[in-house]
Amino acid sequence: MGDSSVSNGHGAVTRVLFCGPYWPAATNYTREYLQDYPFIQVDEVGLEQVPDVIQNYNLCVVKNRRIDSDIIAKATQMKIIMQYGVGLEGVDVNAATEHKIKVARIPGSTTGNAVSCAEMAIYLTLGILRKQKEMDTAVNRRDLGLPVGETLFGKTVLVLGFGAIGVEVAKRLRPFKVKVLATKRNWTSDTLPCDVDEIVDKKGGPEDMYDFAGEANIVITCMALNNETAGIVDHKFLSSMKKGSYLINIARGRLLDYNAVFDHLKSGHLAGLGIDVAWMEPFDPEDPILKFPNVIITPHVAGVTEYSYRTMAKSVGDTALQLHSGEPFTGIEFVN
């Protein structure tokens, strides 16, 4: 791979790097979107190869590759590091800033990512309440009328983190006639996309999460992962939840303290766990936590829908085109 350039007009090529083989539709859909623009090159390399080739690229889509200061120092032609979505916890933003590299996310509220993740939260909630694993067992055993599940109707649900995804979760909970509690660091009107009083029955800050946990039958985590939130669903929080309550995580795996969750499942304090994200990914299919009959896991696909991925492919493609032409960027949100 030769030198790269983002200058237009003389056959120069703008090079886009996708890190790793996971979430393959991200690369494929972006290539499809850009297929009529030969001056944009889209490559995908293995996670281990990224440090060896990153110096050849102008735009990097990180996916689940950690981009630390050592890798950023090698990215001598990089202009933008971005995520195919919103999570940038794996990017050393300070190091990128020092090297004059912009870091961006694609706002979930504009791409369908938040909507897709919210639908998955409902899917996992219903799956746990209706005992999906036990239903599969019943089918295999040719049983009928088992197991006895629970309704979402009449429950109290705590949405832990009320950003774009949390808002969409609350909207979808309303038709089930549930009571919605929500925590958010800042409830000022300019941080909210709608009249939350119509979709939230009780609002609180981070300091209220333990009291709210004690009221809820179901907790759905929608928080961003950072130094303050890592492991926030710990022994103290889980012990605050009602005995027989349910936990759903569609945000980031490391929000949950693994040992605490395991212990509360084993004791029966937690009646069920539904997760689309895990502590390490890909997650070990033989991990002991998956042996519980009341645990459902999906392979980090909450945001992976035709709707969201086609829209995000357009955002990445447009960013590459704007980078090439020198036009102002649209559809992305810079964090530095």
In this structure, what DSSP letter does residue 197 have? G
pLDDT at 180: 98
pLDDT, one tens digit per residue, over 97-149 is 999 999 999 988 888 999 999 999 999 999 999 999 999 999 999 999 999 99
* Burial class of residue 279 in the structure, from the number of CB atoms within 10 Å of its CB (0-12 exposed, 13-18 middle, 19+ buried): middle
- What is the rounded CA–CA span in Å between residue 187 and residue 202? 12
Helix 306-325, helix 113-129: angle, nearest 10: 160
Count of alpha carbons within 13 Å of 169, Cβ hemisphere only?
Answer: 34
- What is the rounded CA–CA span in Å between residue 247 and residue 276? 12
96 pLDDT higher than 90: yes
pLDDT at 191: 65
Q: Is 84 helix (H, G, I), strand (E, B) or coil?
A: coil
Mean local confidence (pLDDT), 167-178: 96
Tokens 């995520």 identify what position?
Answer: 83
The long-range contacts involving 97-104, CB below 8 angstroms and separated by at least 24 positions, are 97/336, 99/72, 99/73, 99/75, 101/72, 101/75, 102/334, 102/336, 103/334, 103/335, 103/336, 104/80, 104/319, 104/329, 104/332, 104/333, 104/334, 104/335
Instruction: State the CB neighbour count (10 A cutoff) for residue 207.
Output: 8
Is the separation of the CB atoms in 83 and 61 below 8 Å?
yes
pLDDT at 1: 39
pLDDT, one tens digit per residue, over 37-67 is 999 999 999 999 999 999 999 999 999 899 9
- What is the rounded CA–CA span in Å between residue 26 and residue 300? 13
Q: Which residues pair with 45 in a beta bridge?
A: 19
pTM to 2 decimal places? 0.90
289 pLDDT higher than 50: yes
In this structure, what DSSP letter does residue 216 have? -
- In order of their start, the domains of the chain are 14-110+305-334 (3.40.50.720), 113-297 (3.40.50.720)
pLDDT, one tens digit per residue, over 260-286 is 999 999 999 999 999 999 999 999 999
pLDDT at 87: 82
In this structure, what DSSP letter does residue 27 have? H
5 pLDDT higher than 60: no
Count of alpha carbons within 13 Å of 263, Cβ hemisphere only?
Answer: 12
pLDDT at 90: 87
- What is the rounded CA–CA span in Å between residue 129 and residue 154? 13
Quick one: residue 243, left, alpha or beta (phi over 0 = left, psi -120 to 50 = alpha)?
A: beta
75 pLDDT higher than 50: yes
The overall average pLDDT reported for the chain is 93
pLDDT at 3: 43
